[in-house]
Structure 1
Amino acid sequence: MRMRRERKFWFMRLLLMMAAGVFLYGCTGKSTHEASASREFFAMDTVMTVTAYGGRCEEAVEAAEKEVKRLDALLSTGAEDSEVFRLNREEGGFVSEDTAALLEGAERICKETDGAFDISIYPVMQAWGFPDKEYRVPEPEELKALLDRVDGSQIVLDGKREKVTFGLEGMEIDLGGIAKGYTSNRMMKIFQEYGIESGIVSLGGNVQVLGRKANGGNWRVAVRSPKGDGDFLGVLSVNGKAVVTSGGYERYFEQDGKTYHHILNPKSGYPADSGLESVTVVSEDGTLADGLSTALFVMGMEQAVSFWKLHREEFDAVFLDKEGGLWITEGLEGAFQSDFSYEIIRK
């Protein structure tokens, strides 16, 4: 068995440094005399960068880093003192406001995508060894038994948003599929509390920007190519949006000549084989973008496009299939630049 492309700290740092040149391209073209502050740190199993412009930028990035680390401690599946660990151990219990908000967001995405995104997939993820990197291919009988614990509709939050109940024995959750999106939303709010009107955060495959760049232009966010090595599919011009990419190339292992990636289909328990290589979602809501990037990848092109047509006011997307075909939804027309040919999906 060979293990490949785990996001090692040094590799992600290199990628983010390279990407930062694209994210901030053009900032120095016009002098703004605006104070700025930036921090880089490790949390939620990835390297993060936080940049803010404005009079209280130093305070803002410090507060943003503290918030990330607070949420990381709260939502970790592995830390025994985290809220999520306790919920999994006790199959429910009282929850904080942040966890309640994430559970509500997860429930909505699960319901609207017909289960293509499901936080209760965690027992199956464990069987594949993705959380602890002890990779293996589970037997079909094992997966069948574990899937009896997977049903997001059985996660019930009470009316006061104070207590959650797991309706299936042995059910466990993992909020990692939307935690970074929720976290980037929180960072935007913290920036605003400090009077910041321009800022950008990069949380691994998640990028979210506040307002426009300091010089008044749009932010330029690169869409990474599955080929890696600093290659990009294109560049998005955005302001006030989150840009989140999911793909099977991010984390995977090989066994007996076959590749198994970490994005599992909650209905089959196996890595999603939808014909897509990556999905990038652009939305004002980081939590939604995070969850949908996974769900659309699981759905596959046809279902994903149908879903977009029903919800096109909430998000746009970039799709790359395994044959190299590249598509963007019409809301990104004029905002996406690429050296590759692509087609525009219209409503």
Structure 2
Amino acid sequence: MRKLCVLLFSFSCLLSIGQLERRDITVKKTMKLMGTRFEITVVAPNEEIGYLDIDEAVSEIERIEKIISSWDPNSETSKINQNAGIKPVKVSPELYGLIERSIKISEITDGAFDISYASMDNIWKFDGSMDSIPSEKAIQSSITKIGYQKILLNPDERSVFLKDPGMRISFGAIGKGYAADRAKELLSSKGVKGGIINASGDLTTWGTKVTGEKWLVGIANPLSKDKVFSWMPIIESSVATSGNYEKFIMFKGKKYSHIIDPRTGYPTTGINSVSIFAKQAELCDALATAVFIMGKDSGIHMINQIDGVEAVVVDSNNKIHKSSGIIFDTNP
């Protein structure tokens, strides 16, 4: 009997040691979703479980894309666009909520963010084919169908109606952030300890690294995209960046961004990049575009009025501006 007890004790000790030695690992996968580059990172007990978790996140993002895509003729969003000026379209609570929140952001930003920007005629080209700026008449004509006030919501019917024929809505400036939030919520609800959903620079995190350290995001040096001038800890939070490093045109020595002000029809000038920090990637995504359009002074003033939101703006002279709650750390 004594020998059996000793054997049992030894076996339980081995189990305890094995449990102590087991370590979570980081699993990462990069793929193209929603027409852009997604990188999903999870903390998992092993590689197999990690990839299963990532597959679930991918399925959630693909599900959202089928609802909000303006390119898929069968999506709810496309049905709204197809019935512009004709009749209201009843939609899912999910899409109705996203449109409702988008309109509220439009109100806060005085129309700098506007999902009806998709109604704009495509007169600006950023593929090198333009040899002159469009005429004032063409620019003014291009924005006649834009206006978040023309997106009519009926909460009783849960319907959406675009008032003018030819109007369109698109979630290009908020959809990736929303998808990242939903993928994070799904994995977190399933017990995934930590991770990052990075939608081409719009990212959200939860938990910590395997080591217990905070997730860090680097703010690129405006003089060199490959260098970081500051590291920001991201704790259960999100960040999104809008920039004109790659898509812009030059006319008479002036740089015009591919981000166009939906209120005027003109490309934005004066800013190279905007990074927004907040709890939800959806809000970060939308406000990064809005601040880019509003300009550094108006944009940062607005951000300073919103609890839990911060901004870093790099102007066209590569000077860095920040909201009141940002403290830079140059050590990773």
TM-score range (shorter-chain normalised) is 0.7 to 0.9
* Counterpart mapping for 1:181-330 below 5 A: 181-226=177-222, 230-253=226-249, 259-273=255-269, 275-311=270-306, 313-330=307-324
Contact 1:201 1:207 in 2 (8 A): yes
1:73 aligns to what SS in structure 2? helix
Assess, with a 3 A threshold, how the Cα gap between structure 1 residues 69 and 116 changes in structure 2: closer, same or farther. Answer: same
1:243 aligns to what SS in structure 2? strand
Contact 2:223 2:318 in 1 (8 A): no
2:64 counterpart of 1:68: no
Assess, with a 3 A threshold, how the Cα gap between structure 1 residues 58 and 161 changes in structure 2: closer, same or farther. Answer: farther
Contact 2:208 2:215 in 1 (8 A): yes
- Equivalent residue for 1:34? 24
Q: 2: CA distance between counterparts of 1:237 and 1:272?
A: 30
Contact 1:105 1:288 in 2 (8 A): no
2:112 aligns to what SS in structure 1? coil
What's the offset of the Cα at 1:233?
Answer: 4.0
1:318 aligns to what SS in structure 2? strand
What's the offset of the Cα at 1:255?
Answer: 6.6
Assess, with a 3 A threshold, how the Cα gap between structure 1 residues 282 and 139 changes in structure 2: closer, same or farther. Answer: same
Match of 2:329, as an amino acid? Q
Give 5+ residue unaligned stretches, structure 1. Answer: 1-30, 340-347
What's the offset of the Cα at 1:163?
Answer: 1.2
Q: 2: CA distance between counterparts of 1:32 and 1:315?
A: 38
Match of 1:73, as an amino acid? K
Superposition TM-score, scaled by structure 2 size: 0.83
2:211 aligns to what SS in structure 1? coil
Q: 1: CA distance between counterparts of 2:325 and 2:225?
A: 29
- Equivalent residue for 2:36? 46
Assess, with a 3 A threshold, how the Cα gap between structure 1 residues 210 and 251 changes in structure 2: closer, same or farther. Answer: same
What's the offset of the Cα at 1:70?
Answer: 2.1
Please tell me the root mean square deviation across aligned C-alpha atoms, in Å: 2.4
Q: How many residues align?
A: 303
Identity rate, percent: 26
Higher relative contact order (CA 8 A, sep 6+): 1
Superposition TM-score, scaled by structure 1 size: 0.79
